[in-house]
């Protein structure tokens, strides 16, 4: 009898401690959000939310300071769109190739390579972007600086690729064999089977992969700060310097006065970023859940 009791107690302790760690991770996220809100909210005592979100100039240290983050939002958006336009088609194609076409040995090598790409620190990727890609773009387009939105997009595409490829590849591999067999047995070619059946069946998972890849790009700071030139102006094209939300926080936090309006404005940017990534992850989650059903 005693051992049964002991076993039950042990079970109870294990169960509750797992529950507790689960609760903690949610609580931490909430606390971070609350902290952001508390620090950032004081900005809106002197500034309207509309002026903050849609103001066209970001002059945090002029007198009076102007805290309009529209150029930063557009900078982030532009770099992200560019990175997505590069990494999504290549990433999905790579995932289809690895999962469906590549022979076993090549598949293993490619997967290892992609995992390695994910393991490269972002500062190293940024460094390569700055030293090699930047000058190359400068010469190619004959523009005054190579540190542009395009440079940022290409650099970030490399960082989004591993996420997109590995999650999309999982989704494709999870498509039951019987669908492929049925298509082949009807005389479909390998490509018709892959494109019309497998890719269709894996679509929710591939969309989730894309969303998570984009989430990674929006949140990326170091590499993007090194290669985009950091000019807080409203961008009109890919071939000019831009500044992103993340780079602004990283670059200016050190020189802002704690508790001052600049400091609060940087935290308010943090809130905006938090909401954006929260939405993107939410959408990705939705797709992943749908794909599991």
Partner 1 sequence: MSETSIDIRALNLFYGDFQALTDIHLSIPARQITALIGPSGCGKSTLLRVFNRMNDLIDGVRVTGEVVINGKNIFAPGIDLLSLREKVGMVFQRPNPFPLTVYENIVFGLAVHRLARRNEYADIVEQALRSVLLWDDLKERLHHSALTLSLEQQQRLCIARVLPLKPQILLMDEPCSALDPSATLHIEDLMRELKKDYTIVIVTHNMHQASRASDRTGFLYLGKLIEFDDTVTIFTKPAQTMTENYISGRFG
Applying CB under 8 A, among 21, 142, 178, 258 the residue interacting with partner 1 is 178
Shortest Å distance, C-beta 173 to partner 1: 15
Identity of the residue, 176 or 237, whose beta carbon is nearer to partner 1 in the bound complex: 176
> Per CB under 8 A, does 108 bind partner 1?
no
Cβ(265)–Cβ(43) under 8 Å?
yes
- Pick from 41, 32, 33: nearest CA to 263: 41
Give first-to-last CA distance, the chain, whole Å.
Answer: 43
- The 3-state DSSP class for residue 67 equals strand
> Per CB under 8 A, does 255 bind partner 1?
no
Applying CB under 8 A, among 8, 38, 200, 289 the residue interacting with partner 1 is 200
Residue range at the interface with partner 1 (CB under 8 A); choices 43-51, 70-78, 174-182, 207-215 = 174-182
Q: How far apart are the C-alpha atoms of 269 and 244, rounded to whole Å? A: 10
- Pick from 273, 225, 213: nearest CA to 89: 213
Using left for φ > 0, alpha for ψ between -120 and 50, and beta otherwise, residue 57 falls in beta
Q: How far apart are the C-alpha atoms of 128 and 110, rounded to whole Å? A: 22
> Per CB under 8 A, does 257 bind partner 1?
no
- Number of C-beta neighbours around residue 24 at 10 A: 11
> Per CB under 8 A, does 199 bind partner 1?
no
Q: How far apart are the C-alpha atoms of 240 and 244, rounded to whole Å? A: 13
Identity of the residue, 45 or 293, whose beta carbon is nearer to partner 1 in the bound complex: 293
Identity of the residue, 132 or 190, whose beta carbon is nearer to partner 1 in the bound complex: 190
State the Cα angle at 170 between 191 and 211, rounded to 5°. Answer: 95
Applying CB under 8 A, among 46, 89, 113, 176 the residue interacting with partner 1 is 176
Q: How far apart are the C-alpha atoms of 77 and 66, rounded to whole Å? A: 21
Shortest Å distance, C-beta 275 to partner 1: 34
Q: How far apart are the C-alpha atoms of 86 and 133, rounded to whole Å? A: 15
| Structure tokens belonging to residue 160 | 């989004």
Shortest Å distance, C-beta 34 to partner 1: 42
> Per CB under 8 A, does 185 bind partner 1?
yes
> Per CB under 8 A, does 292 bind partner 1?
no
Identity of the residue, 77 or 188, whose beta carbon is nearer to partner 1 in the bound complex: 188
Shortest Å distance, C-beta 97 to partner 1: 19
Identity of the residue, 10 or 200, whose beta carbon is nearer to partner 1 in the bound complex: 200
Applying CB under 8 A, among 43, 83, 183, 208 the residue interacting with partner 1 is 183
The count of chain residues that interact with partner 1, using the rule CB under 8 A, is 17
Residues that bind partner 1 (CB under 8 A): 176, 178-179, 181-189, 192, 196-197, 200-201
């Amino acid at each position: 009898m005693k051992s049964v009791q002991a076993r039950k107690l042990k079970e109870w302790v294990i169960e509750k401690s797992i529950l507790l760690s689960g609760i903690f991770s949610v609580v931490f996220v909430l606390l971070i959000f609350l902290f952001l809100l508390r620090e950032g909210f004081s900005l809106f005592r002197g500034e309207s939310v509309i002026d903050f979100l849609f103001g066209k100039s970001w002059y945090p240290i002029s007198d009076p300071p102007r805290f309009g983050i529209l150029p930063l939002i557009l900078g982030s958006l532009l770099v992200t769109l560019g990175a997505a336009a590069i990494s999504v088609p290549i990433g999905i194609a790579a995932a289809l190739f690895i999962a469906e076409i590549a022979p076993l040995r090549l598949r293993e090598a490619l997967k290892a390579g992609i995992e390695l790409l994910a393991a490269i620190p972002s500062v190293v990727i940024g460094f390569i972007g700055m030293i090699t890609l930047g000058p190359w773009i400068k010469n190619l387009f004959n523009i005054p600086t190579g540190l542009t939105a395009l440079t940022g997009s290409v650099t970030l595409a490399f960082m989004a690729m591993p996420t997109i490829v590995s999650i999309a590849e999982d989704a494709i591999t999870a498509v039951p064999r019987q669908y492929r067999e049925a298509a082949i047995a009807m005389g479909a070619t390998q490509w018709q089977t892959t494109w019309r059946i497998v890719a269709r069946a894996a679509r929710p998972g591939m969309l989730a992969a894309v969303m998570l890849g984009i989430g990674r790009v929006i949140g990326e700071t170091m590499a993007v700060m090194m290669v985009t030139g950091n000019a807080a102006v409203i961008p009109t094209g890919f071939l000019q310097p831009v500044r992103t939300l993340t780079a602004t926080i990283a670059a200016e936090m050190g020189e802002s006065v704690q508790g001052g309006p600049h400091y609060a404005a940087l935290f308010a940017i943090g809130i905006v970023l938090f909401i954006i990534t929260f939405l993107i992850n939410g959408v990705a989650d939705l797709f992943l859940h749908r794909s599991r059903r």
